Amino acid sequence: MCGIVGYIGSQPSAPILLDGLRRLEYRGYDSAGLAVQVPGAGIEIRRAVGKLRNLESALRERPLDGSVGIGHTRWATHGRPSEVNAHPHVAGPIALVHNGIIENHLELRRRLEGRGCAIASDTDTELVAHLIQLEVAQGKSLEDAVRGALAELQGAYAIAVLSEKEPERIVVAKHSSPLVVGLGEGESFCASDIPALLPYTRDMIFLEDGEVAVLERDRIRISKLDGTAVERAPRRIDWSPVMAEKAGYKHFMLKEIFEQPRAMEDTLRGRLDREARDIHGHEIGLSDDDARTVRRVVLLACGTSHHAAMTGRYHIEALARVPTVVELASEFRGRDGVVGEGDLVIAVSQSGETLDTLVAAKEAKAKGAKVLAIANVIGSAIPRMSDAVFYTHAGPEIGVASTKCFTTQLANILMFAIWLGRRRDTLSADRAGALVEALARLPHTMQDVLTGTRQLVANLARRYVDARDVLYLGRGLSFPIALEGALKLKEISYVHAEGYAAGEMKHGPIALIDSHVPVICLVPRDSHYDRSLSNLQEAKAREARVISVATEGDEAARTFSDDLIEVPDVPEELTPLLTVLPLQLYAYYVADYKGTDVDQPRNLAKTVTVE
Ligand code: G6P
């Protein structure tokens, strides 16, 4: 995990690096550090354990002047969070920051110690600094020294390196961890992710695995590990910097919850063909023939994206009649499961960088499956390795707990299923037309739910803030939403929560119910309604505190519930897009009342590029 950033230009580098790190803090936040080329004094570093503000105070006490520098925010993998383990790591004239994991670190450590290197930290990263330093000591340029060192590494890395001997450049390289370089006027940048650079430049180049870039003030030179030059034009990123700011909200998560109508509008734009009662498929990147010949769909994802993927199974089977399975990418990879030609693998990932999803999709592709990515971060690793990409356009998501990216994933998956169903003649134009119309209204409907339920949900959160366990129940499309509601609560408020398929409650979880346990029942008027209502009554009969999320005007649900959260009546396929909204708000308010760190919950990171 971790976030890295680098700057070379004519402005003081420290404020730019700190600002970049602030925008990358979602990638990890147990320590942070900077290395700056200080004119006349060589490279100086400052590091601090804990959140970025600790590094900021260290810099206030001992500022760093200089216009070339690198920075890092860490999520510990090797070595506990401590100042000595914090990046940048230094070896002789070299300072280095790293995101990723070096797998052959034990062997490298033994070898380097055998050569007399004094290794100060427990990290795998410091070893890379020593490897580069040994190459530099043989008289190599920094660029060649980095190449030489990389040849010895196994594992994942994105690195940025400074050398006191070449103060006018930064050398960066990547393999399996993300790295983007940015081009400004007389200045160059690098970072793990786009938002870090948005206030400074929109012109960015995504480095590919096995590439090295040399950043100077007025040029960036990219080459492959073997030295072959690479020509790649920058891409203009149209995310605005304000999209990565809190815009008056107390937390990014709350802002992102309320941004969902706008994010949905951006995601739907240009994709709904209301006239033809269909989905415009050009952005999906698959042919009509692909749609007709697919034998099976395999959805791969982790975390919240896995919950979105689960809805794909319901939609794709119901609307397109294609057998569909959903797999946790971490369980799929390395299992040698049966997948191959004729299978369409859909890799769902907000960041496009989750290592388990990336590796699982690569394995499936190697066995002959076609891969379609549903991702939010443009140009990220999963889209790059996929045969086709259907982007969500939610804009940058900063809160660790995913919200707007989840709902836009739901929309993309539904649009894909409609597109597939139309091409396979399993979905009538009338039915597709009704869904397309409901999707077109969705941003407004979501806005109504958010404004209409906010106060009620905040009150419920205050009432149940001390509950130690919360159960979420749902059937059919509401089952993944029950899982997602429970995950949101666990992630940010640290309350034990379980999501269950409502029909499974009597096989175990019902034993947990008593008058202290709030049970959140998802009972929209869908094809499971009657059975869901029975489950709700079963919970109530065990004295649970029942909070129902139901369709507007549902008097039966009102009668059996302690509290009722109403959402508008929409076609069944769209209910998850509405019922999840009050659950996101509930998790948010419980966490806020508890005073937890909502945007950066303990032990979590937004982009998980480790196993
Ligand atoms: C982490 C994040 C989750 C996210 C999951 C998958 O655990 O905290 O919010 O759902 O990774 O990430 P992806 O980027 O692949 O959707």
| DSSP per-residue letters across 106-120 | HHHHHHHHHTT----
* Domain boundary residue, one of 223, 243, 263: 243
How many domains are there within the chain?
Answer: 2
Model confidence at 27: pLDDT above 80 = no
Ligand 1 center–CA 513 separation, angstroms? 30
Residue 379's φ and ψ, nearest 5 degrees, are: 80, 10
Model confidence at 610: pLDDT above 90 = no
pLDDT at 611: 67
Residue 482's closest CA among 604, 307, 337, 365?
307
pLDDT at 511: 82
Residue 333 is encoded by which pair of tokens?
């990879």
pLDDT at 295: 97
Ligand 1 center–CA 406 separation, angstroms? 10
Kindly report the number of other CB atoms within 10 A of residue 342's CB atom: 12
Ligand 1: residue of 328, 351, 385 to mutate (most ligand atoms within 8 A of CB) is: 351
Work out the average pLDDT over 496-512: 88
Task: Dump pLDDT digits (tens) for 155-173.
Answer: 889 999 999 999 999 999 9
Q: Where in the sequence numbering do the catalytic residues fall?
A: 2, 606
pLDDT at 242: 65
Ligand 1 center–CA 301 separation, angstroms? 9
Model confidence at 289: pLDDT above 80 = yes
pLDDT at 587: 98
* Pocket flag, ligand 1, residue 117 (CB < 6 Å): no
Residue 40 is encoded by which pair of tokens?
């006349």
Ligand 1 center–CA 348 separation, angstroms? 10
pLDDT at 247: 67
Residue 540's pLDDT band (cuts 50, 70, 90): confident
| CB 545, CB 517: distance < 8 Å | yes
Ligand 1 center–CA 505 separation, angstroms? 27
- Residue whose Cα lies nearest atom 7 of ligand 1: it is 303
* Pocket flag, ligand 1, residue 349 (CB < 6 Å): yes
Point out which residues pair with 222 in neighbouring strands: 213, 230
| CB 195, CB 244: distance < 8 Å | yes
Ligand 1 center–CA 608 separation, angstroms? 7
Residue 609's closest CA among 243, 332, 326, 330?
330
* Domain boundary residue, one of 202, 218, 243: 243
DSSP 478-506: HHHHHHHHHHHHHHHH--EEEEEEGGGGG
* Pocket flag, ligand 1, residue 608 (CB < 6 Å): yes
Work out the average pLDDT over 413-432: 98
Residue 601 lies in a domain: no
- Residue whose Cα lies nearest atom 15 of ligand 1: it is 349
* Pocket flag, ligand 1, residue 303 (CB < 6 Å): yes
| CB 236, CB 198: distance < 8 Å | no
Model confidence at 449: pLDDT above 90 = yes
Same domain for 162 and 288, yes or no, is: no
Angle between helices 429-463 and 260-268 (to 10 degrees): 160
Same domain for 290 and 383, yes or no, is: yes
* Pocket flag, ligand 1, residue 302 (CB < 6 Å): yes
Work out the average pLDDT over 300-304: 97
Model confidence at 245: pLDDT above 90 = no
Ligand 1 center–CA 402 separation, angstroms? 7
Ligand 1 center–CA 584 separation, angstroms? 15
**369: CB partners within 8 A, 6+ apart:** 298, 339, 340, 341, 343, 344, 345
**528: CB partners within 8 A, 6+ apart:** 475, 476, 478, 502
pLDDT at 570: 98
Work out the average pLDDT over 494-516: 88
CATH code for the domain of 339:
3.40.50.10490
Pairing of strands 545-551, 563-567: parallel
From the CA of 491, give the closest atom in ligand 1.
8
Residue 486 lies in a domain: yes
Ligand 1: residue of 608, 609, 610, 611 to mutate (most ligand atoms within 8 A of CB) is: 608
Ligand 1: residue of 27, 177, 354 to mutate (most ligand atoms within 8 A of CB) is: 354
Q: What is the mean pLDDT of the chain?
A: 93
Same domain for 497 and 518, yes or no, is: yes
Same domain for 87 and 192, yes or no, is: yes
Residue 609 lies in a domain: no
Same domain for 416 and 278, yes or no, is: yes
Model confidence at 277: pLDDT above 90 = yes
| CB 252, CB 195: distance < 8 Å | no
H or E element that contains 455 = helix 429-463
Ligand 1: residue of 27, 177, 192, 304 to mutate (most ligand atoms within 8 A of CB) is: 304
Model confidence at 195: pLDDT above 70 = yes
* Pocket flag, ligand 1, residue 382 (CB < 6 Å): no
From the CA of 301, give the closest atom in ligand 1.
15
CA-CA distance, 179 to 159, in Å (whole number)?
Answer: 8
* Pocket flag, ligand 1, residue 121 (CB < 6 Å): no
Kindly report the number of other CB atoms within 10 A of residue 350's CB atom: 28
Length of the chain measured in residues: 611
CA-CA distance, 384 to 377, in Å (whole number)?
Answer: 11
- Residue whose Cα lies nearest atom 5 of ligand 1: it is 303
Sheet with 518-523, edge to edge strand ranges = 496-501, 469-474, 518-523, 545-551, 563-567
Residue 46's pLDDT band (cuts 50, 70, 90): very high
Residue 358's closest CA among 178, 131, 88?
178
Pairing of strands 518-523, 545-551: parallel
CA-CA distance, 97 to 75, in Å (whole number)?
Answer: 13
Residue 599 lies in a domain: no
**500: CB partners within 8 A, 6+ apart:** 471, 472, 473, 482, 509
* Pocket flag, ligand 1, residue 163 (CB < 6 Å): no
Same domain for 308 and 423, yes or no, is: yes
* Pocket flag, ligand 1, residue 354 (CB < 6 Å): yes
Residue 292 lies in a domain: yes
* Domain boundary residue, one of 243, 266, 296: 243
H or E element that contains 69 = strand 68-74
Same domain for 511 and 577, yes or no, is: yes
Residue 328's closest CA among 358, 371, 299, 368?
299
Same domain for 19 and 155, yes or no, is: yes
Model confidence at 473: pLDDT above 70 = yes
Does the bond joining 167 to the residue before it have cis omega, within 30 degrees of 0? no
Residue 507 is encoded by which pair of tokens?
């096989």
Same domain for 215 and 132, yes or no, is: yes
Work out the average pLDDT over 248-262: 92
Ligand 1 center–CA 380 separation, angstroms? 14
Point out which residues pair with 298 in neighbouring strands: 325, 345
* Pocket flag, ligand 1, residue 402 (CB < 6 Å): yes
* Pocket flag, ligand 1, residue 536 (CB < 6 Å): no
pLDDT at 574: 98
Model confidence at 77: pLDDT above 90 = no
From the CA of 605, give the closest atom in ligand 1.
8
CA-CA distance, 539 to 517, in Å (whole number)?
Answer: 10
Ligand 1 center–CA 303 separation, angstroms? 5
Residue 426's pLDDT band (cuts 50, 70, 90): very high
Q: What is the CA radius of gyration of the chain?
A: 25
pLDDT at 448: 97
From the CA of 377, give the closest atom in ligand 1.
14
pLDDT at 19: 95
- Helix or strand or coil: residue 64? coil
Same domain for 62 and 89, yes or no, is: yes
Domain that holds residue 493: 252-594
Same domain for 151 and 237, yes or no, is: yes
C-alpha torsion angle, residues 248, 252, 253, 256 (rounded to 10): 70
CB crowding 89-122: b at 16 or more within 10 Å, else e: bbbbbbbbbbbbbbeebeebbeebeeeebebebe
Model confidence at 541: pLDDT above 90 = no
Ligand 1 center–CA 307 separation, angstroms? 11
Residue 246's pLDDT band (cuts 50, 70, 90): confident
CA-CA distance, 280 to 179, in Å (whole number)?
Answer: 32
Ligand 1 center–CA 358 separation, angstroms? 12
* Pocket flag, ligand 1, residue 304 (CB < 6 Å): yes
* Pocket flag, ligand 1, residue 475 (CB < 6 Å): no
Residue 275 lies in a domain: yes
* Pocket flag, ligand 1, residue 305 (CB < 6 Å): yes
Residue 611 lies in a domain: no
Same domain for 279 and 345, yes or no, is: yes
**441: CB partners within 8 A, 6+ apart:** none
CATH code for the domain of 49:
3.60.20.10
Instruction: Check residue 101 and give left, alpha or beta (phi > 0: left; psi -120 to 50: alpha).
Output: beta
Tell me the H-state helices in 1-151.
Answer: 13-24, 52-61, 105-114, 125-137, 142-150
Point out which residues pair with 11 in neighbouring strands: none
* Pocket flag, ligand 1, residue 400 (CB < 6 Å): yes
Task: Dump pLDDT digits (tens) for 208-242.
Answer: 999 999 999 999 999 999 999 999 999 998 777 66
* Pocket flag, ligand 1, residue 606 (CB < 6 Å): yes
**171: CB partners within 8 A, 6+ apart:** 142, 143, 146, 160, 161, 163, 212, 213, 214, 215
Residue 152's Cβ-count burial label (10 Å; 0-12, 13-18, 19+) is middle
Comparing 18-27, 145-154, 416-425, the range with the smallest average pLDDT is: 18-27
What counts of helices (H) and strands (E) characterise the chain?
18, 27
Higher pLDDT, 334 or 406: 406
* Pocket flag, ligand 1, residue 27 (CB < 6 Å): no
Distances (CA, A) of 559 to 8, 32, 104, 525: 65, 54, 62, 15
Amino acid letter, residue 105: H
pTM: 0.77
From the CA of 382, give the closest atom in ligand 1.
15
Residue 166 lies in a domain: yes
